[in-house]
């Protein structure tokens, strides 16, 4: 036990033990002053009374000391957890910012496409690392429009070594809710799919996961895809995981939107390009888009 432990021990127990000894001595003195008691009865009263007095004083002190020590230990664990979380968060965000910068500043379309692919893979890797759920799997589904059909195709995944079997199509009525949520920029969190509506998630289907989160990768003007996380056991995913995914998805959406905007400016005539650059540098008014 270190100096801090001894100091804490003496602080809580020193005064209590001294008070108990004084109380026990006082009880013995009172019993000694009593008359007409045999030696055996006198010593029985002295020892029993002194012991009961000491116990009565020490037990509440011990309970208080135990509660204080548990609270101090919990505070130390909480501080350590916050520090660890901050380190993990920084280790996730700093590399992502470098990749996002490569997307926006890429000198040509080939470099830009390579940076986009690296960013999507880095984001799904970061989701798995940041959430730290055993055998969880994160996926990025790319939003593809062809003719009248819209599809979500898994391009990147991390975590479990099995690629998701699902591929979503707007032509399939069972997938209509997925596209509605995506187009409304709404996240979806199911803690236990076995307790969900059978029309939305049929119970007779062989799912390889029991809980999932999906968040849109989009801006107010453009949809890029869907970021998902699933786990093998019910209730393994928590509301904080959804918030972490929303942050990563928003960062990815901003980076992808920035690359598209820069490319459209570069494809314009010089005069139009200059006007667009001036417009981008002018102040804008923020408009909040509320989502459920």
pLDDT in tens, 69-79: 777 777 776 66
Structural tokens at position 224: 């890029």
The winner for highest mean pLDDT among 21-30, 54-63, 144-153 is 144-153
132: DSSP letter: -
**Could you give the angle at the alpha carbon of 249 between the alpha carbons of 189 and 119, nearest 5°?**
135
* Confidence check: pLDDT of 200 > 50: yes
pLDDT on residue 34: 54
- Kindly state whether residues 68 and 112 are assigned to the same domain: no
Do 119 and 111 meet the contact criterion of CB atoms below 8 Å apart?
no
- Kindly state whether residues 163 and 222 are assigned to the same domain: yes
- Kindly state whether residues 37 and 182 are assigned to the same domain: no
DSSP string covering 230-257:
EESSTT-S-HHHHHHHHHHHHHHHHHHH
- Kindly state whether residues 72 and 114 are assigned to the same domain: no
**Domain presence at residue 165:** yes
The winner for highest mean pLDDT among 53-57, 68-72, 124-128 is 124-128
Tell me the C-alpha distance between 210 and 260, whole Å.
36
**Domain presence at residue 283:** no
DSSP string covering 274-286:
HHHHHHHHS----
Do 124 and 157 meet the contact criterion of CB atoms below 8 Å apart?
yes
Tell me the C-alpha distance between 79 and 60, whole Å.
29
- Kindly state whether residues 163 and 219 are assigned to the same domain: yes
- Kindly state whether residues 110 and 183 are assigned to the same domain: yes
- Kindly state whether residues 155 and 19 are assigned to the same domain: no
Question: Residue 164: beta bridge partners?
Answer: none
**Domain presence at residue 97:** no
**Domain tally for the chain?**
2
Going by pLDDT thresholds of 50, 70 and 90, the confidence category of residue 279 is very low
Q: Dihedral sign for Cα 157, 122, 223, 103, please.
A: negative
62-69, long-range: CB < 8 A, 24+ apart? 64/12, 65/12, 65/13, 68/12, 69/8
* Confidence check: pLDDT of 188 > 90: yes
Q: Which of 116, 157, 165 is nearest to 138 (CA)?
A: 157
- Kindly state whether residues 240 and 167 are assigned to the same domain: yes
* Confidence check: pLDDT of 276 > 60: no
**Domain presence at residue 86:** no
Query: What's the rounded mean pLDDT across residues 220-248?
Result: 93
The phi-psi region of residue 134 (left if phi > 0; otherwise alpha if psi is between -120 and 50; otherwise beta) is: beta
Which pTM was predicted?
Answer: 0.62
Domain boundary among 41, 62, 78: 78
**Domain presence at residue 94:** no
- Kindly state whether residues 260 and 135 are assigned to the same domain: yes
- Kindly state whether residues 73 and 170 are assigned to the same domain: no
Domain boundary among 37, 63, 78: 78
Query: What's the rounded mean pLDDT across residues 238-263?
Result: 83
- Write the CATH number for 110: 3.30.450.40
Mean pLDDT taken over the chain: 75
Q: Which of 110, 182, 95 is nearest to 142 (CA)?
A: 182
Q: Hunting for tokens 């890029």 — which residue is that?
A: 224
* Confidence check: pLDDT of 255 > 80: yes
174: DSSP letter: G
**Domain presence at residue 276:** no
208 against 224, higher pLDDT? 224
- Kindly state whether residues 169 and 114 are assigned to the same domain: yes
**Domain presence at residue 20:** yes
Give residue 189's Cα distance to chain centre. 14
170 against 61, higher pLDDT? 170
Structural tokens at position 103: 């997307």
**Domain presence at residue 291:** no
Do 201 and 247 meet the contact criterion of CB atoms below 8 Å apart?
no
- Kindly state whether residues 116 and 217 are assigned to the same domain: yes
43 against 14, higher pLDDT? 43
> DSSP 3-state assignment of 210?
coil
Domain of 122 in residue numbering reads as 106-266
Do 241 and 229 meet the contact criterion of CB atoms below 8 Å apart?
yes
């Amino acid at each position: 036990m270190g100096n801090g432990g001894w100091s804490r021990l003496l602080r809580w127990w020193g005064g209590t033990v001294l008070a108990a000894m004084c109380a026990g001595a006082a009880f013995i003195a009172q019993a000694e002053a009593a008359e007409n008691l045999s030696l055996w009865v006198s010593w029985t009263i002295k020892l029993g009374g002194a012991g009961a007095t000491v116990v009565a004083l020490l037990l509440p002190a011990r309970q208080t000391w135990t509660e204080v020590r548990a609270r101090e230990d919990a505070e130390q664990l909480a501080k350590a957890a916050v520090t660890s979380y901050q380190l993990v968060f920084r280790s996730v965000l700093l590399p992502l910012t470098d990749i996002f910068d490569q997307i926006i500043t890429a000198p040509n379309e080939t470099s830009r496409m390579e940076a986009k692919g690296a960013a999507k893979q880095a984001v799904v890797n970061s989701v798995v690392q940041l959430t730290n759920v055993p055998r969880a799997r994160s996926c990025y589904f790319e939003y593809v429009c062809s003719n009248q059909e819209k599809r979500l195709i898994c391009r990147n995944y991390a975590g479990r070594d099995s690629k998701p079997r699902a591929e979503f199509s707007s032509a399939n009525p069972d997938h209509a809710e997925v596209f509605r949520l995506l187009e409304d920029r709404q996240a979806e969190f199911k803690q236990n799919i076995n307790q969900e509506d059978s029309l939305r998630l049929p119970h007779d289907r062989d799912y390889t996961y029991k809980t999932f989160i999906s968040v849109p990768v989009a801006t107010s003007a453009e949809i890029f895809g869907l970021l998902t996380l699933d786990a093998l056991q019910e209730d393994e995913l928590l509301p904080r995981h959804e918030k972490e995914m929303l942050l990563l998805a928003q960062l990815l959406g901003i980076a992808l939107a920035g690359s598209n905007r820069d490319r459209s400016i570069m494809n314009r005539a010089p005069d139009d390009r200059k006007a667009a650059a001036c417009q981008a540098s002018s102040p804008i008014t923020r408009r909040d888009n509320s989502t459920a």
